[in-house]
Amino acid sequence: MPGRQRRGRIDYRSGWRGHEAASAYEEDLRREESEAGWLGETERRLLADVVDRRFDGREIRYLDFACGTGRIIAFLEERVSSATGIDASPEMLELARAKLTKAKLICGDVTVDSSVLPGRYDLVTAFRFFLNAGETLRSEVLRVLHGALADDGIFVFNLHSNSWSLRSLSVLFRRHVLGQTWWNQRSFLQVRRELRDHGFQVIELHGYNFLTGKGVREVGALRPAARVGWDALRGRLPDRYGPDWGDEFSRRAHRALAPGLSILDVGSGRLPTVSVGRRPAGCRYVGLDISRAELQRAPGGSYDALVVADVIEPLSALVEGFDLVLSFQVLEHVKPLDQAMENLRVYLRPGGRLVAQLSGTFSLFGLANQLIPQPAATWLLRRLLRRDPETVFPAHYHHCWYSALERMLEPWTAAEIVPYWMGAGYLGFSRPLQAGYLVYEEWVRLADYRNLAAYYVVDAMR
Ligand SMILES: C[S@@+](CC[C@H](N)C(=O)[O-])C[C@H]1O[C@@H](n2cnc3c(N)ncnc32)[C@H](O)[C@@H]1O
């Protein structure tokens, strides 16, 4: 998983060591550039402007402190006479090296040994450093960098979360409600005081980026969401409603089939996920269901063996017995889901694959199911959806959301969770309600609130 969450909890000096941390940071940067490319672009534009105005063609001996994977130094190296990057992490520097043509890179920690910095510099930058470095580290670095600046030298740095910005509302929520203590923020006043204490004089201050990347996505999603609602009012559903519901699952499940596989169909009951005629030659097809009666209602020859059991029960006889586990719209009925997922993992042989579809806890139907009392739910199912309540099994929706699934899939070798936004079918009885729902669904989809998806398809390898 990306290092974003772990970084805040670990030591800021050493937490960037290792290939995993370095590539996670690079991955974060890549994601940010694709989601909010203008943020990096704004930083580069501001930086270029300061350098061009302040130096006006003069010689620039440049140092990028905590240069990391080279984001800033790679941008500036052609504008300066000489460029040096310093960082405490050899792995971050390894990634930086590939982006640079002439800059010199030094691996070292200036707070431990200031002699690693060989000269004095006209321009020093430090991006994405001061916000998350602790107080002592900040102070030590400011002291060393002040000493490394030439007379009239300029120090440019950024602070990527201001306590007086709109973003701070989300940071306060994350820190105090969600308990995510690694979210830091600092105010300009705090920073100015610190700079003065270390002998700097503030000559320019530029604010940028009023909304978070997420905020930008949220605002940007409003118009297309409203358009989807308008189309739905006129009877046109979004294109993703074109294919049959369950297509994503079927495509993946059928692609995973191969002759001779041992397949476990979890919760398959009377309707095996892959019908007999579509199975490649030589497959062994086992049905697992909590109800023997349901399994026995399946067409003759559907199963080579039956397992009547709750999927949360660990069954040693099944361990490493299968190449493929399939499960369609079953796991939302299971609690604790974590235990069920772990069982499915160990029932697979190493390299075996799970393809499952389940409903989301925060889907419209999921929420209604959890909130509406049973008699009212039965009435609604009969009257509005014309469904026989007998065919609807009780569901728990336990941990059926994106980040919970992501956590459960950590022990797997590889995993993909595909949010499946197709919850409007339940509101087919009322066009205005369906249109209203689609505005919501389109908005959360575009704003990337994956935890709110109607369904998920999980495709994972043991
Ligand atoms: C968030 S990254 C920033 C990288 C880069 N400046 C950017 O804007 O993309 C923070 C960097 O600070 C480095 N670092 C932390 N403590 C340091 C220290 N005492 N001396 C040198 N580098 C340090 C880490 O190794 C890491 O590469």
Rounded distance between C-alpha atoms, residue 49 and residue 16, angstroms: 30
Identify whether residues 403 and 454 lie together within a single domain.
yes
The residue among 327 and 37 whose pLDDT is bigger is 327
How many residues appear in the chain? 462
Tens-place pLDDT, residues 291-331: 999 999 999 999 999 999 999 999 999 999 999 999 999 99
Identify whether residues 302 and 380 lie together within a single domain.
yes
DSSP 273: S
Tens-place pLDDT, residues 344-354: 999 999 999 99
Q: Which of 10, 62, 87, 136 to mutate to test the pocket of ligand 1 (most atoms within 8 A of CB)?
A: 87
Identify whether residues 311 and 177 lie together within a single domain.
no
Rounded distance between C-alpha atoms, residue 296 and residue 306, angstroms: 9
Nearest CA to ligand 1 atom 16: 13
Rounded distance between C-alpha atoms, residue 395 and residue 392, angstroms: 9
Task: For helices 374-383 and 364-371, give the axis angle rounded to 10 degrees.
Answer: 140
- Is ligand 1 within 6 A of the CB of residue 145? no
Whether pLDDT at 190 is above 50: yes
Tens-place pLDDT, residues 415-432: 999 999 999 988 988 999
Whole-number pLDDT of residue 322 = 98
Q: Which of 187, 210, 233 delimits the end of a domain?
A: 210
- The reply to whether omega before 394 is within 30° of 0 (cis) is no
Nearest CA to ligand 1 atom 4: 68
What's the whole-model pTM score? 0.62
Identify whether residues 229 and 205 lie together within a single domain.
no
Whether residue 449 is contained in a domain is answered as yes
Identify whether residues 34 and 169 lie together within a single domain.
yes
Whole-number pLDDT of residue 412 = 97
Whole-number pLDDT of residue 364 = 85
Number of domains in the chain: 2
Task: Give the count of beta carbons closer than 10 Å to the beta carbon of residue 228.
Answer: 23
Whole-number pLDDT of residue 340 = 98
Identify whether residues 242 and 180 lie together within a single domain.
no
Which of 40-49, 69-78, 206-215, 266-275 has the weakest average pLDDT?
Answer: 206-215
191 Cα to the center of ligand 1, angstroms: 18
12 Cα to the center of ligand 1, angstroms: 8
Identify whether residues 66 and 137 lie together within a single domain.
yes
The alpha-helical segments, DSSP class H, found in 258-391 are 292-296, 337-347, 364-371, 374-383
Identify whether residues 298 and 384 lie together within a single domain.
yes
Highest mean predicted confidence (pLDDT) among 220-224, 379-383, 411-415: 411-415
Identify whether residues 273 and 341 lie together within a single domain.
yes
Q: CATH no. for residue 152?
A: 3.40.50.150
Closest CA to 318 of 293, 342, 351: 342
Closest CA to 21 of 87, 112, 102, 118: 87
- Is ligand 1 within 6 A of the CB of residue 325? no
Domain that holds residue 70: 19-210
Q: Compute the average pLDDT of residues 137-144.
A: 95
> What's the token pair of residue 218?
């949220």
Helix, strand or coil, per DSSP, at residue 232? helix
Tens-place pLDDT, residues 40-94: 888 899 999 999 999 988 999 999 999 999 999 999 999 999 999 999 999 999 9
Task: Give the count of beta carbons closer than 10 Å to the beta carbon of residue 280.
Answer: 13
